[in-house]
């Protein structure tokens, strides 16, 4: 895939005209605000900045956090992920989302909110200066086909960020232009208002004719920018969350019927989450990891997220070859464990499907179907491996939050494993050691075709059963599970989406949406299902080491997490960050967080 190189060190400083009058000495290397926005080159620079902002703020851990806030908050809040770590106190900054112990003062909430706001500003920087969508409706100094394309790309990216903020905070601000110094953002009146605005913005971009359209399923470059297909995806998803399946069918149906996207083969499913799948046929949007030699920070490569989402390697007898090059104390930090009861359900449904094996391993697969760096019997017999002291869980503390299932869907593969590659050559590591072995240079997947198909299938229930079932069956066939629905039901769509999109930022938002529609009970999901997901936290051990058994055998014990019960009417959304509210009195918490609002001034 051709990488789009963004020269990060080429920074254009812009000074407002009102400020220029106050300068006693002319500043060198600063481009006057009034002299910018007059060429395609200026538009290209602003567009580059916009995509760089998305890479830095949403798709990476730049800005003070070593983990990606969106990735960790949204997935840790789901019912099928446990925070794991070394013990019940580890990974506290994100564990609070798994256990619903967060507050308005949590740094991760502030970072996530501000990161979306930063991207929205970068989008508005283009829109307000290359169109008349500004405070006074001033026409742009320069306009061309390319500047119009830049404006519409910014419109779609801005719409996406607003949608994500609405799904996460319910009623964020709608910021549709660059604000002047005497203005503050105004909070939306409802989530419905935000989502309808998102849909309208996407429609405006689509109907403009200025967006690039993916040329074919092999067009890799179009997966890294805002395209017509991504605008259709955002509009369709926003419509589903606005309980408007008719509009969702329109946009998602157009996306599907374009023929520009397709699921990869079943045996290649695993590559969706690793560098060899970058820009493949089912990617709708994933910003490029930037391979700019002048950009030396590992943060954009999701620095340390690689450690968090790797097994607790210091607890193992030796290191599995798949993650053998991960540096640092302990190597992997054991975050994001797959919830044990869900893993059992997944295994029962999918069996040994390529999808299931790409998501997590069973105990036997973990122990015997992988190579281990310290082992001398990687090519030996099963009996030799059963007695091998260089594999398995050596630590007497066990591995916290794990049953006998080992997720690796989002793990950095330093050496793509034979269990998934089938022994084929030519696959690549997810990292470039020179840029930091504990970073992940795989593109950050924002939207892929499987999600579009499942959203469309759901939108078709009770309206277009035949086409909805076709979309559902397409995902089911590719999974390799052998389970193909004969009719379209919400239960099958919901289950399939959980299997297909585990740890892909979808589950928590979907549960909230389905609860609002009366389809699921969040109290049951989070507080009572499986006996309460936080009442039965597993720790997995290996009898070979803890009981001097003649062969490896994993077993679990259980403990209770330090958690708050999920509160219906409150924990569906996050509180607004304290510092952000402090700077903008227009912004008020809603629903169960409203008690945090300051009393109105008398």
If DSSP codes are grouped into helix, strand and coil, which group holds residue 559?
strand
CB 89 within 8 A of CB 97: no
568-576: average pLDDT: 98
What is the tens place of the pLDDT at every residue in 472-511? 999 999 999 999 999 999 999 999 999 999 999 999 999 9
What is the tens place of the pLDDT at every residue in 254-284? 999 999 999 999 999 999 999 999 999 999 9
**pLDDT classification of 4: cutoffs 50, 70, 90:** very low
User: Does the pLDDT of residue 348 top 70, yes or no?
Assistant: yes
- Cα(145)–Cα(215) distance, rounded to whole angstroms? 19
Closest CA to 184 of 175, 192, 197: 175
Question: DSSP per residue over 361-387, as a string?
Answer: EEHHHHHHSS-BTT-S-TTS-HHHHHT
| Phi, psi (deg, nearest 5) at residue 173 | -75, 150
Question: DSSP per residue over 393-428, as a string?
Answer: B--TT-EET--SEEE-TTS--SS--HHHHTT-S---
**pLDDT classification of 15: cutoffs 50, 70, 90:** very low
Closest CA to 76 of 58, 91, 57: 91
Share of the chain above pLDDT 90, in %: 82
What pLDDT, on the 0 to 100 scale, is given for residue 187? Answer: 96
Number of helices followed by number of strands (H, E) in the chain: 22, 11
User: Does the pLDDT of residue 16 top 70, yes or no?
Assistant: no
Share of the chain above pLDDT 70, in %: 90
- Cα(525)–Cα(339) distance, rounded to whole angstroms? 13
Instruction: Tell me how far apart the terminal alpha carbons of the chain are, to the nearest angstrom.
Output: 61
User: Does the pLDDT of residue 203 top 50, yes or no?
Assistant: yes
Closest CA to 571 of 196, 156, 226, 73: 73
CB 230 within 8 A of CB 289: no
**pLDDT classification of 325: cutoffs 50, 70, 90:** confident
Work out the widest C-alpha separation in the chain, in whole angstroms.
Answer: 82
What residue spans define the domains of the chain? 301-441+534-559
User: What are the structure tokens assigned to 485, written together?
Assistant: 């629905």
**pLDDT classification of 12: cutoffs 50, 70, 90:** very low
- Cα(393)–Cα(411) distance, rounded to whole angstroms? 18
What is the tens place of the pLDDT at every residue in 234-249? 999 999 999 999 999 9
User: Does the pLDDT of residue 7 top 70, yes or no?
Assistant: no
User: Does the pLDDT of residue 351 top 50, yes or no?
Assistant: yes
Strands 31-32 and 14-15: parallel
Q: Tell whether the torsion through CA atoms of 304, 307, 310 and 312 is positive or negative.
A: negative
From 4-13, 99-108, 460-469, the region with the lowest mean pLDDT: 4-13
If DSSP codes are grouped into helix, strand and coil, which group holds residue 196?
helix
**pLDDT classification of 161: cutoffs 50, 70, 90:** very high
User: Does the pLDDT of residue 10 top 90, yes or no?
Assistant: no
- Cα(38)–Cα(32) distance, rounded to whole angstroms? 12
What is the tens place of the pLDDT at every residue in 371-395? 999 999 999 999 999 999 999 999 9
What pLDDT, on the 0 to 100 scale, is given for residue 600? Answer: 46
Alpha-carbon 58 to chain mean position? 9
User: Does the pLDDT of residue 66 top 90, yes or no?
Assistant: no
User: What are the structure tokens assigned to 270, written together?
Assistant: 């695993």
């Amino acid at each position: 895939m051709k990488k789009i190189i963004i020269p990060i060190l080429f920074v254009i400083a812009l000074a407002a005209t009102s400020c220029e009058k106050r300068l006693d000495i002319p500043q060198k290397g600063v481009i006057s605000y009034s002299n910018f926005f007059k060429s395609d080159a200026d538009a290209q620079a602003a567009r580059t900045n916009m995509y760089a902002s998305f890479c830095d703020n949403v798709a990476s851990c730049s800005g003070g956090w070593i983990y990606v806030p969106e990735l960790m908050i949204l997935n840790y809040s789901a019912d099928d992920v446990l925070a794991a770590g070394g013990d019940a106190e580890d990974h506290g900054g994100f564990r609070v989302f798994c256990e619903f112990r967060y507050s308005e003062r949590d740094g991760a909430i502030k970072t996530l909110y501000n990161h979306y706001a930063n991207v929205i500003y970068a989008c508005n920087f283009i829109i307000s200066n290359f169109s008349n969508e500004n405070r006074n409706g001033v026409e742009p100094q320069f306009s061309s086909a390319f500047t119009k394309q830049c404006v519409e790309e910014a419109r779609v990216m801005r719409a996406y960020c607003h949608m994500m903020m609405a799904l996460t905070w319910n009623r964020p601000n709608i910021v549709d232009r660059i604000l002047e110094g005497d203005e503050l953002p105004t909070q939306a009146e409802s989530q419905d208002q935000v989502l309808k605005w998102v849909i309208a913005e996407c429609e405006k971009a689509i109907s403009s004719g200025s967006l690039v359209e993916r040329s074919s399923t092999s067009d890799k470059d179009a997966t890294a920018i805002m395209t017509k297909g991504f605008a259709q995806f955002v509009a369709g998803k926003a419509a589903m969350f606005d309980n408007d399946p008719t509009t969702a069918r329109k946009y998602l149906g157009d996306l599907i019927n374009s023929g520009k996207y397709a699921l990869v083969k079943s045996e290649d499913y695993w590559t969706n989450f690793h560098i060899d799948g970058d820009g493949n046929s089912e990617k709708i949007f994933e910003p490029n990891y930037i391979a700019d030699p002048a950009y030396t920070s590992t943060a954009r490569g999701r620095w340390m997220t690689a450690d968090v989402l790797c097994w607790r390697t210091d607890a193992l007898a030796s290191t599995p070859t798949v993650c053998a090059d991960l540096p640092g104390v302990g190597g992997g930090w054991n975050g994001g464990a797959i919830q044990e009861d869900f893993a059992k359900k997944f295994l029962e449904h999918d069996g040994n499907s390529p999808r299931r094996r790409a998501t997590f391993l069973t105990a036997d697969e973990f122990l015997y179907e992988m190579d281990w760096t310290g082992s001398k019997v990687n090519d030996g017999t099963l009996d030799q491996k059963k007695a091998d002291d260089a594999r398995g869980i050596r630590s007497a503390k066990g591995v916290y939050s794990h049953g006998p299932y080992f997720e690796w869907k989002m793990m950095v593969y330093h050496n793509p494993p034979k269990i998934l590659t089938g022994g084929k050559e030519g696959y690549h590591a997810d990292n470039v050691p020179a840029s930091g072995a504990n970073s992940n240079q795989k593109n950050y997947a924002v939207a892929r075709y499987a999600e579009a198909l499942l959203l469309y299938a759901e939108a078709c229930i009770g309206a277009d059963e035949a086409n909805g079932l076709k979309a559902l069956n397409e995902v089911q066939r590719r999974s390799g599970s052998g389970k193909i629905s004969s009719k379209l039901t919400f239960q099958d769509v919901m289950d399939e989406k959980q299997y297909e999109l585990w740890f892909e930022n979808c589950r928590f938002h979907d549960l909230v949406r389905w609860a609002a529609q009366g389809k699921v009970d969040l109290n049951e999901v989070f507080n009572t299902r499986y006996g309460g997901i936080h009442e039965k936290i597993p720790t997995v051990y290996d009898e070979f080491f803890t009981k001097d058994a003649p062969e490896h055998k994993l077993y679990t014990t259980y403990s209770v997490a330090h958690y708050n019960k999920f509160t219906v009417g409150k924990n569906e959304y996050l509180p607004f960050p304290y510092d952000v509210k402090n700077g903008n009195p227009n912004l008020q918490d809603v629903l169960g967080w409203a008690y945090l609002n300051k009393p109105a001034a008398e």
